[in-house]
A and B are shown apart, each in its own frame.
Chain A
Amino acid sequence: MLSARKIVAVLKAQKISHVVGLPDNGSRCLFEVLITEETIEVIPVTREGEAMALAAGLYLGGARPLVLIQNTGFLETGDAFRGTVYNMGVPLVMLIGYRGYASMDPGAERVDTAATFLEPTLRAWGVPYGLMHTDDDLDCIDEAFATAERTSLPAAAILVNETV
């Protein structure tokens, strides 16, 4: 489990101004805490590709956005990711939920392809990422920010377990 409040504390320390995304079962607690946070505006979008474009606009306009989506949503962003945050050199950090992670265990009844495609897709895009299983892994978020800043390109921290 991952503490939503601890994640929000990290985002506040990173001076995030906007979180753009779509909730899922794993991130819903995080969204619930974010909505109560006065220093961060949550902007819900109707589809994850919008989150990328909107975040690119926010960044070029001087804001400090973060994208919060599930792996299914990241797969959907495809060309939106390429044409906005990637091509425009936006140092965006994405928190991405890892739906189906457990389904990749040997012997699992059903494999969720949203899980099997996530890491190969991130690697294909050249997106550096870290996996967060517990609160002990939350420094992945700061590492993602440092990497994004250094490269002027997106980086990710993956929410392997649900937020509580």
Chain B
Amino acid sequence: MLDKYWCLRRLHERRKDEVIVTCMSTAMPWAKLSDGPLDFASVDSAMGHAADFAYGLAIAQPDRRVIVLNGDGSMLMCLGTMVTMAQRPAPNFSMVICENGTYEVTGNQSVPGADKIDYAALALASGLMQATAVESENDFEQHLDALFAGKGPQVFIWKIAPTDEGAPRPSRPILERARSLRQALVGS
């Protein structure tokens, strides 16, 4: 099992000017590492919709890599998004499914089917061309280049241990963060 905080630190060390969209149990840990205009916490947003929101960003910004750190619970809420991604590929898009098997921020209740789901199989069955389970630090390092530069849409399933992150509370309201993101990307 991977340590989420280690993964985020490695991502931060490697990251340059990519858009990083987080949600739920990655939102606050990521914000401690980076909280600029290109970091968008999908919090006080719509549950289950971090990935499709990030996908819209990727389509609108084809010259910029967009990476979303989606939760497994969030992914389950909107599985059809993988089909949407497959039928309209965005080469600049990478999705990480942080699979810890729980709804961490509400107290680590198990997500439905936690011991049965195969997200990589779901992604490939949706028509996505690449989906990779990442279970160790060696795996992580081996696939880090692809996360940032591989031809998307790509899916990486990080098998991470649950922690005890509480409900995320971003430092700024979502409207302000949205406008800041657009300003950074579009200049208006």
Binding site for B on A (CB under 8 A): 18, 43-47, 49-50, 52-63, 65, 79-84, 87-90
17 sample A-B contacts, Cβ–Cβ < 8 Å, listed by A number: A45-B80, A50-B78, A56-B178, A57-B59, A58-B60, A59-B60, A60-B60, A60-B181, A60-B182, A62-B60, A63-B60, A65-B56, A80-B46, A83-B46, A87-B174, A88-B45, A88-B174
Residue from A50, A61, A65, A87 in contact with B185 in the complex, judged by beta carbons closer than 8 Å: A61
Contact assessment for A83 and B44 in the assembled complex, using a CB-CB cutoff below 8 Å: yes
B49 interface hit (Cβ, 8 Å):
yes
Q: Is B26 interfacial (CB 8 A cutoff)?
A: no
Chain A interface helix/strand/loop/mixed:
helix
Contacts of A55 on B, CB cut-off 8 Å? 56
Judged by a CB distance under 8 angstroms, whether B33 is at the interface is no
Q: What does the 1/0 interface line of B55-92 toward A look like (CB < 8 Å)?
A: 11111110000000000000000101101100110000
Q: How far is the CB of A93 from chain B (nearest CB, A)?
A: 16
**Which of A45, A59, A61 has a CB less than 8 Å from the CB of B84?**
A45
Counting CB contacts under 8 A, is B15 at the interface? no
What B residues does A45 contact at CB under 8 A? 52, 80, 84
Q: Complex: how many Å from CA A50 to CA B55?
A: 10
Q: Are B46 and A89 in contact (CB under 8 A)?
A: no
- Least distance between B79 CB and chain A CB atoms (Å): 8
Q: How far is the CA of A18 from the CA of B52 in the complex (A)?
A: 15
Query: Which single residue of chain B is at the shortest CB-CB distance from A61?
Result: B60
CB-contact partner of A53 in B44, B53, B61, B175, under 8 A = B53
B9: interface (CB < 8 Å): no
Which residues on A sit within 8 Å (CB–CB) of B52?
Answer: 45, 50, 53-54, 57
Q: How far is the CA of A53 from the CA of B83 in the complex (A)?
A: 15
Output the nearest chain B residue to A46 by Cβ-Cβ distance: B80
Chain A residues with CB under 8 A of B175? 87-89
| Nearest-Cβ distance from residue B81 to partner chain A, whole angstroms | 6
Give B157-188 as 1s and 0s: 1 = Cβ < 8 Å from A's Cβ atoms: 00000000000000000110011011001100
Nearest Cβ distance between residue B8 and chain A, in whole angstroms? 22
Task: Give the Cβ gap from A86 to chain B, nearest Cβ, in Å.
Answer: 9
Q: Does chain A have a CB within 8 A of B41?
A: no
- Distance (Å) between the CB of B93 and the closest chain A CB? 11
Which of A47, A58, A63, A79 contacts B46 (CB under 8 A)? A79
Tell whether, in the assembled complex, residue A88 and residue B178 are in contact, meaning their CB atoms are under 8 Å apart: yes
Tell whether, in the assembled complex, residue B59 and residue A63 are in contact, meaning their CB atoms are under 8 Å apart: yes
Top 4 A-B pairs, shortest CB-CB distance = A57-B56, A61-B60, A83-B46, A46-B80
B122 an interface residue at 8 Å Cβ cutoff? no
Q: Which of B53, B80, B81 contacts A56 (CB 8 A)?
A: B53
Taken together as a complex, chains A and B put the C-alpha atoms of A56 and B58 apart, in Å, by 12
B24 at the interface (CB under 8 A from A): no
The reply to whether A62 and B56 contact each other, CB–CB distance below 8 Å, is no
How far, in angstroms, from A59 to B46 measured CA to CA in the complex? Answer: 16
**Given that A54-B84, A57-B53 are contacting pairs, would A84 and B46 also be in contact in the complex, using a CB cutoff of 8 Å?**
yes
Taking a contact as CB atoms under 8 Å apart, the answer to whether B87 and A52 are in contact is no
